[in-house]
Amino acid sequence: MQPAALPDLAHTHTRPVHWLATAAAMAAVVAGAGLLQPDAATATTGADGPRPALKPAPDAATAAYPLECGGAPSVVARKAAGDLDGDGSPETVAVAHCDAGSGTPPSGVYVLTRGKDGAARVVATLVEPTSKQNVETLAVRDGVVTATLLGYSSADVPSCCPDVKESAEWRWQGGTFVRTAARAAAQSV
């Protein structure tokens, strides 16, 4: 059975006048949107008066790290910044290791602040290089430092191939950085 033929509906055929009407309507909408703007923003100071401008986070490349590199330079592999202690000034968290040239030297994770002279200085060590861990990821969010650490299940595991992965978090509590429970337990890589 064949479907019945539909009648030819004249209003379903587009003509240039339809396109002109559509273009005119769109132009009117765009012009109207350009004319309707919100009021200008105004800023007010709080009861305490104007706030000082925020200083930039310390530059991780300028800090002196407590690494024993045997004369080799140190390298900043990762960095993240944020206000960790709630004082309104950002700190920098840096992952640094010795520039060994080859192999996988262990990382240290350091918190940097700006000294009185403006130079970056290490104020806390979150991961000691002696723990023989490497840092895969690093982030600072809402005053919490998070990192993914790669390590070794035993001394028999070659240093090229870490076989343990764990998540770590640190937050500022009571005047020191406290490592909080990891979101996921240590797992094999």
Q: 30-64: per-residue pLDDT in tens? A: 766 666 655 554 544 455 555 555 678 999 999 99
The number of folded domains in the chain is: 1
Q: Is 80 helix (H, G, I), strand (E, B) or coil?
A: strand
154 in a structural domain? yes
- pLDDT grade, residue 185 (50/70/90)? very low
Domain of 91? 75-188
Domain assignment present for 34: no
Does 43 map to a domain?
Answer: no
Within-domain flag for 39: no
The tokens describing 104, both together, are 């996988």
pTM, 2 dp: 0.68
pLDDT tens per residue, range 137-177: 999 999 999 999 999 999 898 888 899 999 999 999 999 99
- Facing residues of 22 across strands? none
Structure tokens at 39: 């009021």
The residue with greater pLDDT, 122 or 119, is 122
Residue 175 included in any domain: yes
Question: Is residue 109 a contact partner of residue 120, using CB atoms and an 8 Å limit?
Answer: no
Report yes or no on 114 lying in a domain: yes
Whether residue 93 is contained in a domain is answered as: yes
86 located within any domain: yes
